[in-house]
Amino acid sequence: MGNASILLVDNRKAIIESFRKSFSEIEVKHTLFSAANENEAWSMLDGSQKLSPVPKIILIDVNRTKNKGIQFLNAIRNHTDLKSILVFVITDSENEINKAAALNLNIAGYIPMSFESQTLNSFVSVLNEYWNIIEFSSQK
């Protein structure tokens, strides 16, 4: 896939720092951006703080903000230029309603996990291998 950007959407600073540490330890070559909430993430995808190029991958815990996470995923899937973004839901909480809703929005994966260092490193390592073998269109 080459060097692509990844957007992590989570309001917990400790989780964001844990991901940055795992990316460094695993030597992930992709750029990690973070947004504290869905509004900030949307601004980075299609608003005043738009990233260029737009991230190819989003990591989000849709269980953190009631229904805003599902609404955010729905907006991505209904946006012509964003609908092809790979979205992985990563969560340390259970919510069967959000799980079903996210899966119905064609996410790349719903991954229940703890955010402990060893578990996170294993997760990032597996995803990094996956990200390095897939290809994206050069078009929007």
pLDDT tens string 14-71: 999 999 999 999 999 889 999 999 999 999 999 889 998 899 999 999 887 767 999 9
Cβ atoms 60, 39 nearer than 8 A: no
The pLDDT, as a whole number, for residue 2 is 56
Output the 3-class SS for 9-28.
ECCCHHHHHHHHHHHHHHCC
The pLDDT, as a whole number, for residue 135 is 74
Closest-CA residue to 41 (of 30, 29, 49)? 49
Return the CATH fold of 5-133: Rossmann fold (3.40.50)
Can you give the pTM of this predicted structure?
A: 0.90
Place of tokens 């190819």: 56
What ranges in 27-116 are assigned the alpha helix state H?
Answer: 38-46, 68-77, 96-104
pLDDT tens string 72-115: 999 999 999 999 999 999 988 888 998 999 999 999 999 988 88
Q: Alpha-carbon distance 105 to 114, whole Å?
A: 23
CA distances to 19, 81, 114 from 13, in Å? 10, 29, 15
Band (pLDDT 50/70/90 cuts) for residue 133 is: confident
Give yes or no for residue 136 having a pLDDT over 80: no
**What radius of gyration, in Å, describes the C-alpha atoms of the chain?**
14
The pLDDT, as a whole number, for residue 114 is 80
Q: Alpha-carbon distance 105 to 67, whole Å?
A: 14
Domain layout of the chain by residue ranges: 5-133
